[in-house]
Amino acid sequence: MKVLVVGNGGREHALAWKLLQSQQVEQIVCVPGNGGTASLQRCRNLPLAVDDFEGMSRYALENGISLVVVGPEVPLAKGITDYLQSQGLMVFGPARSGAQIEASKAWAKALMQEEGIPTAKAAVFTDATAAKSYVKSQDIPIVVKADGLAAGKGVIVATTLEQAEDAIDSIFQGQFGSAGNFVVVEECLIGEEVSVLALTDGLTIRPLLPAQDHKRIGEGDTGENTGGMGAYAPAPIATPELMTRIQTQVLERAITGLRNRGIDYRGVLYAGLMIAPDGDFKVLEFNCRFGDPETQVILPLLDTPLEELILACLKQRLGEMPPIAWKPGASATVVAASGGYPGEYEKGKVITGIKEAEAAGVTVFHAGTKLNQQQQIVTDGGRVLNVTAIGENFQQAIAQAYIGIKSIQFEGIYYRKDIGHRVLK
Ligand code: AMP
Ligand code: GLY
C-alpha cells in the first residue's frame, strides 16, 4: 500500500514513521513534508501546497496511492476529503461538514449544548456591542474566542474587562480574517487540560491514550502561548474511571450528534478537556484531526498497526476490531525551538547531532526543518524538533528525552527544561 500523508509538522513525521512500521505499507509520500520525512527510508516529499487538492489527486491517481491521511485542520476545513473522495481516493479525515466541529466554535458549541456534552457556559455574538454588554454582566476572567480557524491564536483568556473588550473589537475588526464573523464568549474554566484523541468510523469511537501538552513557552507553564513545547502520555489525570465518563458523555454523544446532523465522520475526533480540581470535566474544544505534539507521544506507544485502525475506520468496521493494543510504560517529547519563538526567529540554521541523539535511544520527529541544497538539515520554523522517548515510567522517558536533546545543536536552540513536571511530582 502506498500512502500519502498531508502536512509538514512533527505530527506528520510521526504518522509517516508509524505507518512505515506496518508490513502493509510500502511507501509514503508526504505533502509537502519536512526534513524528517525527506530522510525517512521509503518516504519522500512532494512539494505541493496542502490545499492543492487537484495536484494531490492527480499525483495519487497516477502513482497508485491507495490511502490519504490528512494531518492539519486547514485542508480538512477546506474540503480535501470531499474532493479526493469524489476522485475515488480513500481519505482518513472528516469531510468539510464534519470539520466544522473545529472550524466553527459556534457550531461546535451548539452541538455540545444540544447533545448534552459538558462544556463551558457560553454565548455567541455577531456584533461587538451585544458581546461587550454580555461581558459586563459576567465574571472576569472570561474567555473570548474567534469563531473560525485562527492557527491557535483566536482564543483570548481576558483577565480584565478592558482586555475582553479589546479582544471582541479585534476579532470583529477582522484580525483573524473570516474567523471573526462570530464571537464566542465563555466562562473561564480552571483546572488541568488533557487531550483525548479518538478514532471513529462514524458509528464506533475509541479513544487513544490521553495526553497532555505544555502550551506555554516558559518554564513553570508561564509566558506566551505556543503550538506546544512538549507532551507526554498516558496522562495520569485521565484515570480509567474518568476515561469511561469521557467516552459516554463526550465521545459517544459527539458522534451521535454528528450522525443526527447527517454527518458521516471518519477520522480523528480530538476533545480538549479541562479537568476541574474536583474531577469534573468540560470540553474546551473539539479538533477534527490528530493533535500536535500529542501524536508524537501517543504513536510510539501504539502496538496495533496504525494502518489497520485507519482502514477499519474507513470501512466502518472499527467495532469489529479487537481493543487497541498499547505498549506498557510512558512516553514524552521535548520540543527544540528556534530562539525567539513564538515571536520572531531566524531560519536556515544547520542542525547537528540528530544521529547521536537517536543513538542515545530517542526518536527525533522533525517539525520546522528542511534539507538545504547541500543536503544538510536546517531549521525552517519556530518549533524545530520533537525529541521523543519511551520508558518504563515517566521518570525514564523524560530523562531519556533530555539525554537525547543534549546532543542536538543549532544556533539559538531553546527548549523547556521542565517538560512533564506535573507527572514527576
Ligand atoms: P481552544 O482552541 O478553544 O482549545 O482554546 C485554546 C486554549 O485556550 C485552550 O487550550 C485553553 O488553554 C484556553 N481556553 C479555551 N477555552 C477556555 C475556557 N473556557 N477556560 C479557560 N481556558 C480556556
Ligand atoms: N496540541 C494542541 C493541538 O494540536 O491543537
How many Å lie between the centroid of ligand 1 and the Cα of residue 91?
A: 29
Q: Take atom 9 of ligand 1 and give the residue whose Cα is closest.
A: 284
Q: How far is CA 179 from the centre of its chain?
A: 19
User: Distance between CA 93 and CA 76 in Å, rounded?
Assistant: 7
Mutate-to-test residue for ligand 2 from 73, 292, 335, 383, highest number of ligand atoms within 8 A of CB? 292
Mutate-to-test residue for ligand 2 from 70, 105, 213, highest number of ligand atoms within 8 A of CB? 213
How many Å lie between the centroid of ligand 1 and the Cα of residue 272?
A: 8
pLDDT recorded at residue 153: 77
How many Å lie between the centroid of ligand 2 and the Cα of residue 334?
A: 15
Sheet-wide strand order for 43-45: 43-45, 27-32, 2-7, 65-70, 91-92
- Does the Cβ of 186 fall within 6 Å of ligand 1? yes
The grid cell for 414 is: 531553546
Q: Is the Cα dihedral 156, 162, 167, 168 positive or negative?
A: positive
Report the SS3 class of residue 209: coil
- Does the Cβ of 284 fall within 6 Å of ligand 1? yes
Ligand 2 closest atom vs CA 294? 1
Q: Take atom 12 of ligand 1 and give the residue whose Cα is closest.
A: 193
Q: Where are the beta strands (DSSP E) in 261-346?
A: 267-275, 281-287, 330-337
pLDDT recorded at residue 176: 76
pLDDT recorded at residue 181: 80
Ligand 2 closest atom vs CA 290? 4
Sheet-wide strand order for 205-207: 205-207, 192-200, 267-275, 281-287
Half-sphere exposure of residue 407: CA atoms within 13 angstroms, side-chain side: 17
The grid cell for 196 is: 483525548
Work out the burial of residue 325: count CB atoms within 10 Å of its CB; fewer than 13 is exposed, 13-18 middle, 19 or more buried: exposed
Q: Take atom 18 of ligand 1 and give the residue whose Cα is closest.
A: 188
pLDDT recorded at residue 148: 83
Ligand 2 closest atom vs CA 215? 1
Report the phi/psi class of residue 321: left, alpha or beta, with left for phi > 0 and alpha for psi in -120 to 50: beta
Closest ligand to the CA of 101: 1
Ligand 2: which residues within 6 Å by Cβ?
213, 228, 287, 291-292, 294
pLDDT recorded at residue 151: 78
Taking a C-beta distance cutoff of 8 angstroms, is the pair 34, 351 a contact?
Answer: no
Tens of each residue's pLDDT in the chain, 425 residues: 999 999 999 999 999 999 999 999 999 999 999 999 999 999 999 999 999 999 999 999 999 999 999 999 999 999 999 999 999 999 999 999 999 999 999 999 999 999 999 999 999 999 889 899 999 998 899 999 988 888 777 888 989 989 889 989 888 887 877 666 889 999 999 999 999 999 999 999 999 999 999 999 999 999 998 989 999 999 999 999 999 999 999 999 999 999 999 999 999 999 999 999 999 999 999 999 999 999 999 999 999 999 999 999 999 999 999 999 999 999 999 999 999 999 999 999 999 999 999 999 999 999 999 999 999 999 999 999 999 999 999 999 999 999 999 999 999 999 999 999 999 98
Q: Take atom 4 of ligand 2 and give the residue whose Cα is closest.
A: 291
How many Å lie between the centroid of ligand 1 and the Cα of residue 284?
A: 6
- Find cell 516529499 and name the residue: 45
Taking a C-beta distance cutoff of 8 angstroms, is the pair 377, 35 a contact?
Answer: yes
